[in-house]
Amino acid sequence: MPIVGTGIDLAEIARVRAALDEPKTGARFKARVFTTGEQAYCDARGPGQYESYAARFAAKEATMKALGLGWGAQMGWLDVEVVREPDGRPTITLHGKGAAAAAAAGVARVHLALTHTRDLAVAQVVLERDA
């Protein structure tokens, strides 16, 4: 299958944690960047929630890079959602401007890999079109 684009991103877990825990702006950051489904998944992770949030932040950035788009007028944070396949694998669901850009590029499949250490979260995205 022809590759439409690839993207990779690295997120510092401490920075994502600080943004989420900021008393004045943390709730707004969470609502602006993460879908309700992502929030439910991450919050259910207990102490591991910050790693999960950071991995999803990296996945959103990696997806934008794979599509060749930037955050802002071209695409919003909520246009990219990390969801779980029935077998537990993470994947990307695109909404709004993200879905429109993927359709225009002929994207048929999205592949997502997530990993993290104690300090860093990494996401890699590969976009494919049909042959």
Instruction: Determine which one of 30, 60, 65, 111 is catalytic.
Output: 65
Instruction: Determine which one of 24, 30, 111, 116 is catalytic.
Output: 116
Q: Kindly give, in sequence order, each residue whose CB lies less than 8 Å from that of residue 27, ignoring residues fewer than 6 positions away.
A: none
Q: Are 52 and 32 in contact (CB under 8 A)?
A: no
Question: Is residue 111 among the annotated active site residues?
Answer: no
Question: Is residue 116 among the annotated active site residues?
Answer: yes
**Is 83 exposed, middle or buried, given 0-12, 13-18 or 19+ CB atoms closer than 10 A?**
middle
CA–CA dist 35, 29 (Å, integer): 11
Which residues belong to the active site? 65, 116
